A and B are shown apart, each in its own frame.
Chain A
């Protein structure tokens, strides 16, 4: 709590009837790479906007670097950086002009600006592209420039809204290397993404769906949550020829709770009653043609399971609402969100 750079308590944001963020609480430690995950329209951008002090919460409280987002937004803005989802630099200005512009916006003195420009250029290796118009840079270089602009005033917290959307895999990896370097220097990073491999690189993750925080914690803790691999079940990876066709057959087998395609393999959530031999026999496969091995849950498994549970719960609720006599309330499947702090 003392070391928390961000402290979000029971925050909500409504747009008319739409509840974009619904009573969310979490903390972020200094130097963390905090990943906020969730499907499109789940409230990630709304959350970032509230934390950056550009959108007031409807209810609840949040502080960033000790400043309240509603009352002290301007103090927050001076000490944070923000890199948005879409390329939002001035395409008709050169990389250097963009950097100078943001430096001046933050009120950097000429000498300090020159020093900071050298620093961010070195960090992002932009040196060779300074006099190019920002609009003519390739996707990866645009992101580097955007990052450099967001870092020009040496912020303590950096918000990145889907920073790798639409850039190639190499540029994506390079960008992440940069982010690790920054975190190593004590900059706190708050990243939204829907790439699961990026989620695995975060030191802390939160998953938000329909404005509600579904789960929050260290990736390894989240994977061990009881709701993810319920009591009496196991996770297996099945490798077999024709996985797509096998998938539809495996789903029909009794004891198989869930089956998802993962590349050329199928991830299964099966009841402990079902033995390996029975499963293979039911699929007409032998251990020569197919392999079955126990695995730990991935983050994707976590989110798929938790989202599904939430949806089932919501569907059951609306069912109960439309048929008031149906008295059976479904058991709540998802675990209580655990705090990262």
Chain B
């Protein structure tokens, strides 16, 4: 522990002297939270849609109407020839094209099955998937309406509802829990707390140590009787404190700006946040043992941040990842912490619910700390 106090105090002098660090620590995370929280909207609405109606009569018009009523589609134009229809799609002005065939209404009334061609731009898979699902649902719903009117008069029907009208045998009654309005901010902002916590502590610790190496002051320290433990704790604890304050700020932004209430226990949340913080400090230390210069440290830190952002389930659901990548996600500490955050904030999960994630995070933590401490020791020797 020799020298701990000296280094601890010195780190705070550094932090105080460097306005850029203060900015990076306290302003940037808030800005990032606001940007992510407000800008990421996963609900897909108003997909520009072009209509080529070759029928022009009641059933055709009703179908177009129901496309518009879903709010998923927005009719941007009705065209009158094949060429302009194609042009809308190739130019990207419309992502969906609906072509209603000639004699659509007439054939329906005659009891024929009619095909409606729906062209969907598949370039953006998320938009395309939504358009595809909505189109299919729309087709079923319209057909159901038409069928229901007819079968009501038949003696035997698949099922009747409470008032005796013919209906489908099974009615699904989905109820949305935890985020009933499907607001993407409720999903993203809790995860963002974890990502920002890791970002800031990882960068700050890595830089704090690499800067000393780059300036030659680390060599100077090795010539003094400062102990390894003292040096390490003196360098890391100040940034642990900063990281913790950080987490509190971002949680406040989450609660008061985005109106995401914490349903679960805040003490549990903060305790587990500290475990994750320890993990991030370990990663920062690891980067500092790999990098010779601050530029290298930045590159390594980004290399570590990317999987945390992309593969942790923060943005994309882990369950839909290919199997090898799915296994990789278990080695990322952020995976567990993002799940813990969402569990506590949204679902009122308690410690018992989170035991698997806590174990996962603890294992990551021990592994990272063991690796980075052994590397750090070797370099001191």
Q: Mark B1-15, 1 if CB is under 8 A from A, else 0.
A: 011011101100110
- Bound complex: CA A106 to CA B3 (Å): 7
Give the 10 A-B CB pairs with smallest separation, nearest first.
A104-B6, A88-B216, A82-B223, A92-B17, A77-B225, A88-B220, A105-B6, A78-B225, A54-B222, A105-B3
**Residues in B lying within 8 Å of A, measured CB to CB:** 2-3, 5-7, 9-10, 13-14, 17-18, 215-217, 219-226, 381
- Bound complex: CA A223 to CA B18 (Å): 53
- Interface presence of A166 (CB below 8 A): no
**Contact size class for A?**
20 to 34
- Bound complex: CA A133 to CA B225 (Å): 25
Contact of A104 among B3, B219, B223 (CB under 8 A): B3
- Bound complex: CA A77 to CA B230 (Å): 15
- Interface presence of A84 (CB below 8 A): yes
Q: Mark A91-109, 1 if CB is under 8 A from B, else 0.
A: 1110001000111111100
- Bound complex: CA A56 to CA B381 (Å): 8
Chain B residues lying within 8 Å of A264, measured Cβ to Cβ, are: none
- Bound complex: CA A87 to CA B220 (Å): 10
Q: Give chain A nearest CB distance to B16 CB in angstroms.
A: 9
Chain B residues lying within 8 Å of A101, measured Cβ to Cβ, are: 6, 9-10
> Are A86 and B225 closer than 8 Å at their CB atoms?
no
- Bound complex: CA A52 to CA B18 (Å): 32
Contact of B223 among A52, A93, A133 (CB under 8 A): A52
Known contacts A82-B220, A88-B220, A74 near B225 by CB under 8 Å? yes
- Interface presence of A256 (CB below 8 A): no
29 contacting pairs across A/B (C-beta < 8 A): A54-B219, A54-B222, A54-B223, A56-B381, A74-B225, A84-B216, A84-B219, A84-B220, A86-B216, A88-B215, A88-B216, A88-B220, A90-B10, A90-B215, A90-B217, A92-B14, A92-B18, A93-B13, A93-B14, A93-B17, A97-B13, A101-B10, A102-B6, A102-B224, A104-B9, A105-B7, A105-B224, A107-B2, A159-B223
A91, A93, A102, A105: residue with the most chain B Cβ atoms closer than 10 Å: A105
**Residues in A lying within 8 Å of B, measured CB to CB:** 52-54, 56, 74, 77-78, 80, 82, 84, 86-93, 97, 101-107, 133, 159
Chain B residues lying within 8 Å of A90, measured Cβ to Cβ, are: 10, 13-14, 215, 217
- Bound complex: CA A187 to CA B184 (Å): 70
Contact of B217 among A54, A89, A107, A159 (CB under 8 A): A89
- Bound complex: CA A78 to CA B227 (Å): 11
- Bound complex: CA A52 to CA B217 (Å): 15
Known contacts A77-B224, A105-B224, A106-B225, A93 near B10 by CB under 8 Å? yes
- Bound complex: CA A77 to CA B215 (Å): 21
Q: Which residue of B has the minimal Cβ distance to A56? A: B381
Beyond A106-B225, A107-B2, 20 additional pairs, beta carbon < 8 A: A54-B222, A77-B225, A84-B216, A88-B215, A88-B216, A88-B219, A89-B217, A90-B10, A92-B13, A92-B14, A92-B17, A93-B14, A101-B9, A102-B6, A102-B224, A104-B6, A105-B3, A105-B221, A106-B224, A107-B3
